[in-house]
Structure 1
Amino acid sequence: MKTTSFAGALALGASVATLLAAVPALAADAAAAAGTPAGSGAEATDITNIVVTAEHNIAAATAPTKASLTEQQPESIITHRFIEDVRPESGDYTTTVLIAPSMAGTSSNGGGVGETNKSTLRGFQDGMYNLTYDGIAFGDTNDPTHHPASYFPASTIGAAVIDRGPGSAGDLGQANFGGAIHLFSPTVSNAFGTSQKFTYGTFDTMMSVSQLQTGAVDALHGGKLLLVFQELRSDGELSNSDGVAQNQTLKYVQPINDKTTLTLFASHNYTRYFQSDAGPGETWRQVQTYGKNFALTNDPTDEHYKGFNHEKKQTDFEYIDLKGDVGYGVTYEDQAYTYFYSNKTISVNDITGLIGQNTSPPKSSKLPATDIGGYDKGNRYRVYGDIVRINKDWSFGTLKAGALWEGSSTDRHNLYIDLTQGGIADNKFKTGVLNAKTLEYSSWDQYQVFADFEWRPLENLTIQPGVKYVNFTRNIDGIEENSGTPNFPKHTSAIGSNTYDKPLYFATVNYRILPYWSVYGQYATGFLIPSLSFLQATNPSLNSLQPEETTNYQLGTVFTRGHVTADADVYQIHVTNLQVADPTGQFYENAGTADYSGVEGQAAYAFDFGLTLFANGSLNTAKNATAHNTELNAPKWTDAVGALYNKGPWSAAVTYKQTGAQVVAYSPNAQELPAYDTTDASVAYDFGHFKVKLAGFNLFDNRAVINFSGATLYSAADAGLYQFQAGRQIQVTLEAKF
């Protein structure tokens, strides 16, 4: 593996930080500015400021999702109270954000183990929107998709903001395209405190979460530390699909002076679980024979044997953040970061056969056809970068400017092996690297430069134009197996480099009609680089791909007063440069356009006695404008209703979420999955130093089909894989806190 040190990113961050940190001393006697905090857009704004801005009344303070009167695009803010009281203790970010309008997705294996859950946003699939943590976008280096079980469990999420749109120019990341999910770390308290949680639930799920807050320590000049440790194990609902997960998180906040703060963050995650990389899911024939919970077996002579299908992953995520106020209306933030991902997988080639039928013979004719063939897959990457933001505030407006630089280093392999004979190499090829399906090194270098100007010509009017320039270079050096086209050998060298660049433009306006009622509008452009797989084509030199692009138009309104908070919006998004394979299969090209449009809303009413009722929903359309087909896996609507209660030591909740019908295949007619829903409930009593919580998820045990990868639904002859909604789960949590 080619290594690139994080020292470069730290050096860049440290140099800027040292320069900026010196300025407060020079301007210590200057008047403090009254402007906004450093940052632009949700990604760089402190979550405390977001929540305070949004929660102007009792309804907004207790609603599970809410909007801000100052927002410039549709958003849903989910606070720590909702995560703590309502969502699964063993959950992750997908379970946290599901309650919001236009969000869809659910797990197909209970207990919180394995990678069986993804989320869609307005029908945009994972990898088509940014996912950030404390303002830093992260994702895989082949394309910006995500592994929900591999980074941040629910215990490390203090709050979340779903941006249904590309935001402002200062919203940075690898997928400035279909919106963003912003996750925020827990708050570090000024007061000392400890807590210990133990959770036990269905599928023999056991979890422990230990938390320590040191509070502000006088000997450290107000420095304060948060430690969170989580241990999880579960048998899972699917057969022989158990797993374990561990997370350790540290966050330290050090005041440098009254205008400068340094934050250090580090998180490490380890997961090991049994799941086939050839899945997940089961064929319709398997469903009819074994039921909806079939996945793996304990039979070492069968391709579904759990010993032939397992994954082990480790990740880490770190940053150093320095922010401050230098006086004269100038604030700054410098954030140097890195994150790492390692995946070690053993899997069979195919899982579509019945028990005792071998549909995964070795790839080599030199090995017995009765043996079970598979592969050894590895993927390791390190990403490192630095984000610098500087704001200048005047009485009439604020200039927000900055830049991101980011690099990555990745190596991956996929080697054919004979699992029956203990994983020996499956020597398929006569030349080259004998058993390699993929041997590859890749990297990227990108930079983004942006400027937004928040102009306030009137006290109740904000107009914000912005511009961002994105430059992204991807490199690949490796060999790939191909289909053996006559003009090409079995192994093809994949060596190449592509640079994609684009200026992006933004314009938003927010007008406060009344102190409690605002309207807003947004025009924005988006950009999504081609996946690394497009450089793995048989003849990548023929690629002429341009990045996919979006043009976004959105209008909305927010009303929040007294016992009521409500907001609604309409949107129209035009997508160009859709990417398809050339008919010869040798390269990729751009062809076609798509249109996403819809209407969304969320509302809550709070009673004085502690009860809050809420509802939200969306109508979403995603059409391929060239083929006139509905885009695959894009739900046509979402809706949610529920009630939350908080009074004295009692808290309780009942929530209902429905995900609308979605097209999953064309063969030749549209194959559509019906809507599915889930009802969750929880009740808790706080004794002071002790708290007990009882929670149930999918109370009516719905087992709907939530995903399908084949061509024709409900056909025993179709080898497509089905995933089903995880069944009913009950969890009891005991907490001690001091």
Structure 2
Amino acid sequence: MTRFTALSCCSVLAVIMATPALAADAAPAAAKTDVSTSTGTEGTDVRQIVVTAERNRAATDAPTKASILETQPESLITHKFIEQSTPESGDYTTIVSIAPSVNSFGANGGGVGDVGSATMRGFQDGQFNITYDGIAFGDANDTTHHPAAFFPSSTIGTAVVDRGPGAAGDMGQANFGGALHLFSPVVSDSFGVSQKVTFGTFNTESFVTTLQTGAIKELGGAKLLVSGDFRSSDGQLNNMGGIGRNFLAKLVVPIGNDITLTAFSSINHIRYNQTDNTSGTILGFGITPQQQAAYGINFALNTDPTDEHFVGYNYVTKNTSFNYLNLKWDAGHGITVEDHLYYYYYDNQTVSAQSAADLLNPPTSGPNVGTSYYSPDGGTTFTSDIAGYLKQNKYDTYGNILRVNADLGIGTLRAGGLYEHSNATRYIYNYDFTNNTPDTSGTYGTAPGSNVEYYEPSSWNQYQLFADFEWRPLHNLTITPGIKQLHFTRNVDNAQEYIAVPASGNNPGGNTLVTQNGSRTYSKTMWFITANYRVQPNWSFYAQAATGFLVPPVKTVAAVANGTVSPTAPQTTTTYQIGSVYTAGNLTLDGDFYHIDANNVLVASKHSGCFCYLNTGQGRYYGWEAQGAYHLGYGFTAFANGSINIARDIGNGVDYTNSPKRTAAFGLIYDDHHFQASVSDKIIGPQLASDGATFLNSYATVDASVSYDLGRVKFKLAGFNLSNKRPPIDFDGTFSVYQVGRQIQGTIQVKY
């Protein structure tokens, strides 16, 4: 625990003890609806989603549930479940893991570093949108995400897993495979201060401080939430520890009776040790069979500066911020206007050795004495210095979303649009870490005389325009057709890329550095139609047919010379799905069937020694999903969900990698006001590993938690992967990645 963290915690506790006047009349606040008033990407208030999903006790306690009004399969995960049953040191991947068709996994534990990811229906990260308070965010070079870089779990009040392309007003570059919608914590009308302290396995520490000012009468009812999240962990893997710091502020200001202004800012900093260059696995690192046999399953880094696994040669520092202003105006006569102005920033500075596959200890005799074990030619010669590189991925993105809704009696007309701009700079520069000088040998993916592996300055502009009409021909029937136009232009200016020229005739071949300038424009008109029919007030059927789109990555512009195929062919999907939601008495239940055709599916590949993308043509995704819960009485609720998922490359007749064939979860929740407990078992079915040849077996993860709330003080004990199973979750032909082992966390929360 750092001195700064300790002082922060003590300061907050001092405030709690020193403010009796503010709280003299305030008993512990009554339970409030645990949702933000922010809208989702379709412009729907998430409060409405929760109200229509939690229609009985079973639905209230269920970890995942659906709304009776939904028009595509969804799983709502409320703050109550996040607080009780997910790791205090987690992120969005640990929150959404309970949902059907979702595979969420980690390899290090402790909640530091980007060592977790999530897939949905076989779609990989980057093939579906992730939004926060209605704003889709992601990398500027492609649409992938970094779970630990922006939003730790303390900044997430509610999550909605949308398994589908959404409505026409669903903004983002990747509604190709659905969306994960994250919502910030609610700003309370009541004053309150909370201090959480968590200690756990792998020397994990987490300190979350939260202050709610409550509605301030003198400021017209304005209210403010501020929080700080400080965490650190050694992690389970050797010498792969790190720290995380997050500061959040959310201000809600009523302006008269009809206008509300919300200002939000989140600033995040993480630093952790991790090798960066085994990117063939889904998480970007792993362990070889030789390393595992010699050092055990947790081998990663060491503290020997003469070895390329040295922690001083393998670390990542990331600084991010996420900010927005949201203005909502009820103009009367059934017309509402919402404007969302936002800006987010990402700065990744990585230092990594060139190799992670070698054994420890340099030779102590012979011609290679004192050298690294890194062998650029596979074992005949060894480098005399530590070869490494510096990597940067840095971007800033800003945009605006405008929505106008008009209730016309027989239906609601919704229209609006998005404009967004981003600037980015990415590079890898090779360095000799022993001498701390640029490495211009041309050995490690560069041309002779240069240490540039790639240098990619880029920018893009996009706009999206949409309109749909929620037609209500009957009081229990809604039909919503919609249309969206997307226009996206990506520019690359003076990018430097090396190309590997094969030997032929008198040409010995080798690496050549080329300068790339290019621009690609993608334009697509997408259509949507959904319907929801309520047979009874508590039973509905829905259907959806919609198109989706995925903007190609920057490499398809910057690395055309490397062999990228069809750089201007955008990836598209056409989705058809039907489902039903039923909730009555002690039961809530919903299920669906989906069929998705994908075209121009791009797959990252090594081609002639260069990184590029190959267009594999058509893909198909289809399957069944269900989730339900039953309130047993006496505070107990049983739940279960499951899915059968097929994700297949039609052209090659094989499954896509890292796509589980099925998922399942079941468990029991107990809630008796002061005493709460939960136990769950999540099962991930077999899947094809990254090498495209190895099938990984099914595995299960058992989690449990128990808490007791005394009013001012709450105690919680939670365990994750209680059986301590460590199955392989990926293999790229060289490196294996294993599921993180058992984690136990104890939390004390003081509230005032």
- TM-score norm. by structure 1 comes to 0.90
The 3 A distance-change label for structure 1 pair 433 and 447 is farther
The Cα offsets for residues 455-501 of structure 1, whole Å up to 9 and x where unpaired, read as 00000000000000001101112101222346996101121000001
Partner AA of 1:705 in structure 2: P
Match runs of 1:505-544 below 5 Å? 505-537=527-559, 539=561, 543-544=566-567
Q: Residue 431 of structure 1: CA displacement?
A: 7.9
Give the deviation of 1:45 after TM superposition. 2.2
Which one of 326, 332, 354 corresponds to residue 327 of structure 1? 332
Offset at residue 380 of structure 1 (A):
1.0
Please report how far the alpha carbon of residue 333 of structure 1 lies from its aligned counterpart in structure 2 after TM superposition: 0.4
Aligned-pair CA distance for 1:542:
8.0
Q: Which residue number corresponds to residue 8 of structure 2? A: none
Contact map agreement 1:67 1:74 (CA 8 A) in 2: yes
| In structure 2, C-alpha distance between the alignment counterparts of 1:725 and 1:259, rounded to whole Å | 50
Kept in 1: contact 2:448–2:511 (CA 8 A): no
In the other structure, the counterpart of 1:401 is 415
- Asked if residue 295 in structure 1 is aligned to residue 286 in structure 2, the reply is no
* 1:98-122 residue CA offsets vs partner (Å, 9 max, x unmatched): 0000000211001111111110000
Paired amino acid for 2:451: N
Hey, what's the Cα distance between the residues in 1 that align with 2:55 and 2:608? 59
| Residue correspondence of structure 1 range 679-718 to structure 2 within 5 A | 679-710=702-733
1:45-95: CA deviation from partner (whole Å, max 9, x where unpaired): 222221112111111111110000100000000000000011000000000
Aligned-partner Cα distance in 1 for 2:537–2:652: 47
Structure 1 counterpart of 2:533, which letter?
Y
Residue 219 of structure 1: aligned partner = 218
CA contact (8 A) 1:360 1:374 kept: no
Please give the per-residue CA displacement for 1:125-182, whole angstroms capped at 9, x wherever unaligned. 0000000000000000111100001110000000000000001000110112000000
Identity rate, percent: 49
- In structure 1, the partner of 2:469 is 453
The SS at the match of 1:140 is: coil
Partner AA of 1:406 in structure 2: E
Q: Specify the alignment match of 1:601 in structure 2.
A: 626
Shift of 1:39: 9.8
Task: Check the 8 A contact 2:132/2:184 in 1, yes or no.
Answer: yes
Mapped pair 1:380 → 2:379: no
Question: Residue 198 of structure 1 contacts residue 733 of structure 1 at CA under 8 Å; is this kept in 2?
Answer: yes
CA 510–542 in structure 1, closer or farther in 2 if over 3 Å, else same: closer
C-alpha RMSD of the superposition:
2.1
Q: Which AA in structure 2 matches 1:673?
A: L
Shift of 1:704: 0.5
Equivalent residue number for residue 451 of structure 2: 435
Matches within 5 A, 1:225-624: 225-279=224-278, 280-356=285-361, 358-360=372-374, 369-421=383-435, 423-428=436-441, 434-477=450-493, 478-485=495-502, 490-537=512-559, 539=561, 543-579=566-602, 590-624=615-649
TM-superposed deviation, 1:610:
1.3
Q: Distance in 2 between matches of 1:359 and 1:514?
A: 70
SS at match of 2:583: strand
Q: Separation in 1 of the partners of 2:607 and 2:247?
A: 49
Q: Is the 1:165–1:180 Cα contact (8 Å) retained in structure 2? A: yes
Q: CA deviation at 1:290?
A: 1.2
Tell me the alpha carbon deviations over residues 611-657 of structure 1, each in whole angstroms, 9 at most, x when there is no partner. Answer: 11100000000111111101111000000001111103101000110
Q: After superposition, what is the alpha-carbon deviation per residue over 1:427-456, rounded to whole angstroms, capped at 9, x for unaligned?
A: 235989721112221011000000111000
**Alignment check: 8 A CA contact 1:40 1:452 kept:** no
- Distance in 2 (CA, whole Å) between partners of 1:397 and 1:433 is 66
Secondary structure at the counterpart of residue 398 of structure 1:
strand
CA distance in 2, matches of 1:348, 1:658: 36
Q: Which amino acid aligns with 1:612?
A: T
The 1:652–1:582 alpha-carbon spacing in structure 2 relative to 1, beyond 3 Å, is: closer
Cα 1:459/1:496, change in 2 over 3 Å: same
Deviations 1:692-728 (A, max 9, x none): 1001111010101011122xxxxxxxxx111111111
2:385–2:434 contact (8 Å) kept in structure 1: yes
Unaligned runs of 5+ in 1: 1-36, 711-719
Separation (CA, whole Å) in 2 of partners of 1:98 and 1:337 = 28
Partner letter of residue 72 of structure 1?
T
Aligned AA for 1:47?
Answer: V
Letter in 2 for 1:700: S
Question: What secondary structure is seen at the aligned counterpart in 1 of 2:218?
Answer: helix
- Asked if the contact 1:227/1:250 (under 8 Å) is kept, the reply is yes
- Range with bigger deviation, 384-393 or 278-287: 278-287
SS in 2 for 1:607: strand
Q: Does the CA contact (< 8 Å) of 2:156 and 2:185 recur in 1?
A: yes
In 2: Cα distance, 1:418 partner to 1:574 partner: 48
Q: Aligned residue for 2:13?
A: none
Q: Which moved more, 1:230-239 or 1:527-536?
A: 527-536
Structure 2 counterpart of 1:104: 103
Change (3 A) 1:312 1:483: same
Q: How many residues align?
A: 687
* 2:168 counterpart residue number: 169
> How far 1:369 sits from its partner (Å)?
2.5
1:328, CA displacement in angstroms?
1.2
SS in 2 for 1:303: coil
Alpha-carbon offset, residue 592 of structure 1: 2.0
Letter in 2 for 1:687: L
Equivalent of 1:678 in 701, 720, 743: 701
Q: When the two structures are superposed, what TM-score results if normalisation uses the length of structure 2?
A: 0.88
Q: Post-superposition shift, 1:608?
A: 3.4
> SS of 1:150's equivalent?
helix
CA distance in 1, matches of 2:376, 2:210: 49
For 2:473 and 2:582, the matched residues in 1 are separated by: 22
For 1:380, what is the secondary structure of its paired residue? strand
| 3-state DSSP of counterpart to 2:175 | coil
1:661 partner letter: P
Contact preservation (8 Å) 1:345, 1:377: yes
Name 1:8's counterpart in structure 2. none
Q: Report the Cα distance in structure 2 between the residues aligned to 1:588 and 1:735, rounded to whole angstroms.
A: 49
Does the CA-based 8 Å contact 1:362-1:426 persist in structure 2?
no
Please name the residue that 2:191 is paired with: 192
Q: Kindly state the Cα deviation for residue 360 of structure 1 after the two structures are TM-superposed.
A: 3.4
Cα deviations across residues 178-227 of structure 1 (Å, max 9, x unaligned)? Answer: 00000000000000000000000011111100000000001110000000
CA distance in 1, matches of 2:180, 2:313: 35
Confirm or deny that 1:737 pairs with 2:751. Answer: yes
Match of 2:85 in 1: 86
Equivalent residue number for residue 74 of structure 1: 73
Rate the CA distance shift 1:589–1:565 in 2: closer, same or farther, 3 A. Answer: same
Read off the aligned partner of 2:731 and give its amino acid letter. F
> Paired residue for 2:678?
653
The one-letter code matched in structure 1 to 2:195 is Q
User: Is the Cα–Cα contact under 8 Å of residues 40 and 168 in structure 1 kept in the other structure?
Assistant: no
CA contact (8 A) 1:242 1:273 kept: yes
- Is the Cα contact below 8 Å between 1:200 and 1:733 reproduced in 2? yes
For 1:629, the equivalent position in structure 2 comes to 654
> Whole-Å Cα distance in 1 between the matches of residues 218 and 39 of structure 2?
34
